[in-house]
């Protein structure tokens, strides 16, 4: 005859093995929403109009409004690495805009976005939506400097295309999102984003903040585990009646 405590533990173990959580979705924000450190959004949500989670791979959405601001600017102490910082291309041989003559760093802009907090135990990621508060991207105004973006080391066609289409015309920030192929995600739940300007590298840019939205679904348990869990749960129930 087993003790009540042992029976309870067996029943709980069986229930845990059988449990499947619901599908879920959540968004993380990396960096402060302070318009590159130049001010604020006047009470508006800079992500309004864009889809923050659940985008299919390659899908792109844009925020409803662009926000103008002054420059130059430099990161404040404690800013999320890679935000509120003006970048130019890794090889800058010319200057096309005001940013390219401002305090700046050579690209590529490399950012690590850890979203492990959104990836629950026993779940799989069904979509990842990357958000970028993109500032001062001006291709093709400066045709010598198209942008190239990679995700986890692989050039991302959709992101590269939209960064070369927004043509913000000057110090204007526009939030955009893109769906990332889950097959390109890293097992460590860190997304490494790289943005660079090619050509003369002289079209500077910046990012105010990033977002990552993740949707997940339970991982179906193998049949053998289901049977084992059910057997344990049944054993627990049986022992409680003894």
Question: Least distance in Å: CB of 16 to Ca ion?
Answer: 42
3-state SS, one letter per residue, for the chain: CCCHHHHHHHHHHHHHHHCCCCCEEEEEEECCCCHHHCCCCCCCCCCCCCCCCCCCCCCEEEEEEEEECCCCCCCCCCCCCCCCCCEECCCCCCCCCCHHHCCCEECCEEEEEECHHHCCCCEEEEEEEEEEEEECCCCCCCCCCCEEEEECCEECHHHHHHHCCCCCCCCEEEEEEEEECHHHCCCCCEEEEEEEECCCCCCCEEEEEEEEEEEEEECCCCHHHHHHHHHHHHHHHHHHHC
Q: Interaction with Ca ion in 130-159: which residues (CB under 5 A)?
A: 136, 138
List the one residue from 14, 53, 63, 84 that touches Ca ion (CB under 5 A): 84
Looking at the Cβ atoms of 53 and 208, the one nearer to Ca ion is 208
Q: Between residues 32 and 189, which has the closer beta carbon with respect to Ca ion?
A: 32
Is 203 a binding residue for Ca ion by CB under 5 A? The answer is yes
Among 53, 97, 135, 200, binds Ca ion (CB under 5 A): 97
Shortest spacing between CB 80 and Ca ion, in angstroms: 7
To Ca ion, the closest distance from the beta carbon of 209 in angstroms equals 5
| Binding positions for Ca ion, rule: CB under 5 A | 31-32, 34, 83-84, 97, 99, 136, 138, 203-204, 208
């Amino acid at each position: 005859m087993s003790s009540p405590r042992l029976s309870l533990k067996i029943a709980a173990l069986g229930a845990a093995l059988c449990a499947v959580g619901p599908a879920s979705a959540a968004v993380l924000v990396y960096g402060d929403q302070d318009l590159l450190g130049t001010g604020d959004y006047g009470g508006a949500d800079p992500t309004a109009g864009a889809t923050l989670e659940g985008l299919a791979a390659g899908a792109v959405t844009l925020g409803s409004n662009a926000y103008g601001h002054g420059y130059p600017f430099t990161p404040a102490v404690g800013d999320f690495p890679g935000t509120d910082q003006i970048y130019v291309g890794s090889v800058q041989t010319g200057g096309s805009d005001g940013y390219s003559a401002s305090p700046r760093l050579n690209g590529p802009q490399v950012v690590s976005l850890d979203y492990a907090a959104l990836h629950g135990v026993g779940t799989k990621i069904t979509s990842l939506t990357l958000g970028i508060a993109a500032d001062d991207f001006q291709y093709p105004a400066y045709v010598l400097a198209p942008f190239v973006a990679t995700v986890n080391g692989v050039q991302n066609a959709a992101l590269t295309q939209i960064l070369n289409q927004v043509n913000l015309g000057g110090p204007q920030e526009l939030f955009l999102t893109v769906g990332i192929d889950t097959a390109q995600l890293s097992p460590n739940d860190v997304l490494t984003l790289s943005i660079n300007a090619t050509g003369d590298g002289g079209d500077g840019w910046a990012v105010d903040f990033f977002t990552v939205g993740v949707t997940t679904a339970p991982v179906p348990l193998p049949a053998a585990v289901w049977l084992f869990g059910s057997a344990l749960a049944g054993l627990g129930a049986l022992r409680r009646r003894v």
